[in-house]
């Protein structure tokens, strides 16, 4: 899966799905791990399992478990041509359409109230910027933690953010909100210059924005001292979950 550029989160989700399938076989067929052979895992057994998941979980969960089993069987078939027929038969087991849920959206006043919660400290400025960044760009948490200063392009008529999704696929998100740009400049200057909270009165030039930071990642600039002498290398070595825990986001 990692060879196919699957994200850590996708790999972990597939692992959980396969473990769920193992538990099902143990409970329904009294099969231990050592007794689960590829000969036993037939099209019939897999379809029974997917039906069981459908009766006990959401459509989305069913689709995730099905995707994990298909991916595993595809891998197994690449190693053993005798399993190609199983792979083909599972291809006929389609994913079900997931309809979007109805949400109670936050009002503008509620969003402003959330943005007022962080304290007027360096960490508070960082937290407020993270909240505003997520609201303004619609980025996933695992996308936000990979954004660097030079991924936010404020020069020109149409500012935008460069995000990297699953498989490091880039996409461009416009940020027309003046509040976002003002907070971005404030945030950058505060941690660039290591100054006081009144630094927002000084404009941030394009040259300053492009200058190298000790780490470069927007989300962790305020905590570089906790990452040692080589914060970028330390940050890159952490898993997605550890990065989110480090920032207090999980």
Q: pLDDT tens for residues 95-150?
A: 998 887 777 777 888 888 888 888 888 778 888 888 888 888 888 888 888 888 78
Per the prediction, the chain carries an average pLDDT of 78
- The three-class DSSP label of residue 148 is strand
**Global pTM?**
0.59
Token duo for residue 104 = 């109670």
Token duo for residue 40 = 């036993």
Phi, psi of 105 (to 5 degrees): -70, 150
Token duo for residue 248 = 């207090």
Q: Which residue has the higher pLDDT, 33 or 206?
A: 33
Domains and CATH numbers, the chain: 8-92 (no CATH), 108-247 (3.90.15)
According to the per-residue pLDDT averaged within each range, which of 68-72, 153-157, 161-165 is highest? 68-72
What's the rounded mean pLDDT across residues 206-221?
53
| Banded pLDDT at 210 (limits 50, 70, 90) | very low
Q: Give the pLDDT of residue 3.
A: 52
Q: Give the pLDDT of residue 157.
A: 80
pLDDT (tens digit, 9 = 90+) per residue, 218-246? 776 555 555 655 666 677 777 878 888 87
Alpha carbon distance 50, 73 (integer Å): 14
Distances (CA, A) of 149 to 110, 139, 166, 209: 28, 15, 20, 7
Distances (CA, A) of 152 to 104, 148, 179: 30, 7, 14
Q: Give the pLDDT of residue 6.
A: 62
């Amino acid at each position: 899966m990692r060879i196919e550029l699957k994200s850590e989160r996708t790999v972990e989700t597939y692992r959980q799905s396969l473990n769920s399938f193992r538990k099902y076989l143990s409970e329904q067929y009294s099969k231990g791990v050592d007794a689960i052979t590829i000969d036993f895992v037939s099209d019939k057994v897999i379809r029974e399992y997917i039906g069981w998941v459908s009766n006990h979980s959401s459509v989305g969960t069913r689709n995730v478990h099905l995707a994990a089993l298909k991916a595993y069987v595809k891998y197994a078939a690449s190693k053993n041509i005798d399993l190609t027929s199983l792979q083909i038969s599972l291809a006929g087991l389609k994913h079900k359409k997931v309809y979007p849920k109805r949400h109670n959206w936050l009002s503008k006043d509620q969003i402003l109230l959330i943005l007022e919660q962080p304290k007027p400290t360096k960490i508070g400025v960082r937290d407020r910027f993270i909240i505003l960044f997520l609201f303004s760009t619609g980025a996933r948490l695992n996308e936000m933690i990979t954004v660097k200063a030079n991924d936010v392009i404020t020069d020109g008529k149409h500012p935008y953010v460069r995000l990297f999704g699953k498989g490091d696929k880039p996409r461009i998100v416009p940020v027309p909100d003046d509040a976002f740009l003002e907070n971005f400049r404030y945030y950058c200057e505060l941690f660039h210059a290591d100054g006081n909270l009144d630094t927002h009165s000084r404009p941030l030039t394009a040259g300053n924005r492009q200058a190298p930071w000790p780490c470069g990642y927007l989300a962790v600039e305020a905590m570089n001292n906790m990452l040692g002498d080589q914060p970028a290398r330390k940050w890159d070595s952490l898993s997605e979950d550890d990065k989110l825990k480090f920032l207090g986001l999980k």
